[in-house]
Amino acid sequence: MADSSFDIVSKIDRQEVANALNTAVKEIATRYDFKNVGASIAFSGEDAVLIKANTEERALAVLDVFQTWLIKRKVSLKHLDYGDDDTPTPKLSGKDYRLQVGLKEGISQEIAKKIGKMIRDEGPKSVKSQIQGDELRVTSKSRDDLQSVQQLLLGADLDTALQFTNRR
């Protein structure tokens, strides 16, 4: 019997992010608490979103609206990258507060090693994992063992959103 396998990846559905951003723009334009405060949100390049407002609190409120629409679109908030300290802090730039939010994709080597160690330590013994660039391939003879690995990883508290693809 051939080995069964699946890949662990961390990919963003860019169309859903664009839909969430467009809906957030419409909501910000129509909400009374954002009238005449210069609040805006837009893509800044391909992998970032730029939020502007006249106060720090308004910038965080715009971020909250964007996050709400991401959740409704089933995009994990773990894809958002706030910078060094992992908390959103708007920076003063002229008269406006700006908040640059990056979109991160792919599994870093550090997290891939952590996932591999977790599979070796806590998963079934017949399961093997191997790092392939920014994804992980998991193989085993038993599909039940692969499903138990998926449940193990879904229950783990990792800093990256995980998807399981390429099931064979």
Residues 136 and 90 in one domain: no
Q: Which of 103, 119, 141 is the last residue of a domain?
A: 103
pLDDT at 129: 85
Statement to judge: residues 87 and 139 lie in one domain: no
Same domain for 156 and 94, yes or no, is no
89 lies in the same domain as 55? yes
133-168 pLDDT per residue, tens = 888 888 888 888 888 888 888 888 887 888 888 777
Residue 26 confidence (pLDDT): 92
Q: Which domain holds residue 129?
A: 4-11+107-165
- Judge if 41 and 90 occupy the same domain: yes
Q: How many domains does the structure of the chain reveal?
A: 2
Whether residue 92 sits in one domain with residue 148: no
79/126 same-domain check: no
Q: Per residue in 73-97, pLDDT tens?
A: 998 888 888 877 667 888 888 888 9
- Which tens digits make up the pLDDT trace of 10-56? 888 899 999 999 999 999 999 888 888 888 898 888 889 999 999 88
Amino acid at 106: G
Residue 119 has a pLDDT of 84
Q: Are residues 159 and 125 in the same domain?
A: yes
Other Cβ atoms closer than 10 A to 153? 19
